[in-house]
Amino acid sequence: MSALVLDGRKVAQEIQEELRSRIQRLRSHSRPPALAVVLVGEDPASQIYVRKKIKTSGELGIESIDEIRDASITTDELLAIIHRFNQDPEIDGILVQTPLPKHVDTARILQAIDPGKDADGLHPLNVGRLVANRPAPRACTPAGIMEILRRYEIPVTGAKAVIVGRSDIVGKPMALMLLNESATVTICHSRTKNLAEECRRGDILIAAMGRPAALTADYLKPGCVIVDVGVNRITDSADVERLYGYDPKRISAFKKAGAVLVGDVDPFAMREISSAYTPVPGGVGPLTIAMLMANTVALAEQHVKSDSKC
């Protein structure tokens, strides 16, 4: 029996369709939700990602305020922009695209965002609310993963979940969200001993380490569910042939573009060993953007509710 493909594009579309009526209600009774996006520098991946976010906002009727700045911007100058957005009652959500240039104090920037406008769910106050399992904006990628697991009816309660990667953006909030749904969670990282053995314990394996096809068949429990967060660009023809020799479409795409994307899990092993998996691309990426939109709409609804009480 072939593995089930967990279609992130399909689930993201469902989430966005569910948001439309809420956005229309906001537009009718007050104003459209508004998301301020700050992009610093010329990182190609960040530029592509921000363009997708802006495009999705436009399609849904969310107003997008775009602040594009040169990489030479200082921490204080960026803080001034955040302060301006914090004070603007017409802005519901603020997103600062990371990574920021090395000379910018990223922690200060993220902590400066009003927790009530934290569209990315990364402010320490909102992370604390996640720890306490209280309502707050949730980190978008882990929240999207929880949505795809729920909508495909993947059992989480009682499952053994293994997360490879301990970032503040994915690994740590992912662990908390799974714990809040009564999974038994193991977090692995670069210093984990016997990583393959730990991974093979997972009924659910979340790969978020940023290393192309690093988790091979030896790391996978037969019948597990794999969520591959990795998005790695490979340009070496030998690597492409090794990883996608079974897939003529990928080989053809590589010959045309000179590059293809691969996740953190070996794609052939994932397809053959798991019971269900998220593809790369088309898995987790669209969910991240959908949950950013969902956070922005929820924040706008809270702001309208607060204004009506004044």
Check if the beta carbon of residue 82 is closer than 8 Å to that of residue 97.
no
Edge-to-edge strand ranges of the sheet holding 34-40 = 63-69, 34-40, 93-96
Is residue 97 annotated as a catalytic residue, yes or no?
Answer: yes
Q: Exposed/middle/buried for 21, CB within 10 Å: 0-12, 13-18, 19+?
A: exposed
Helix (H, G, I), strand (E, B) or coil at 226: strand
C-alpha to C-alpha distance for 185 and 163, rounded to whole angstroms: 8
Catalytic residue among 120, 203, 264, 266: 120
Is residue 53 annotated as a catalytic residue, yes or no?
Answer: yes
Check if the beta carbon of residue 234 is closer than 8 Å to that of residue 190.
no
Other C-beta atoms lying within 10 Å of the C-beta of residue 201: 14
- With tokens 């495909």, the residue in question is 152
Other C-beta atoms lying within 10 Å of the C-beta of residue 169: 19
Q: Exposed/middle/buried for 100, CB within 10 Å: 0-12, 13-18, 19+?
A: buried
Quote the DSSP letter at residue 265.
Answer: B
Q: Copy the structure tokens of residue 52.
A: 């997708």
Cα 130 from chain centroid (whole Å)? 16
Q: Name every residue whose Cβ is closer than 8 Å to that of residue 122 and which is 6 or more positions away in sequence.
A: 110, 139, 168, 169
Catalytic residue among 7, 16, 53, 221: 53
Is residue 172 annotated as a catalytic residue, yes or no?
Answer: no
CA dist 153 → 17, 144, 149, 150 (Å): 20, 14, 6, 5
Q: Which strand (E) or helix (H) includes residue 49?
A: helix 44-60
C-alpha to C-alpha distance for 247 and 244, rounded to whole angstroms: 5
Catalytic residue among 7, 16, 92, 97: 97
The catalytic site residues sit at 53, 97, 120
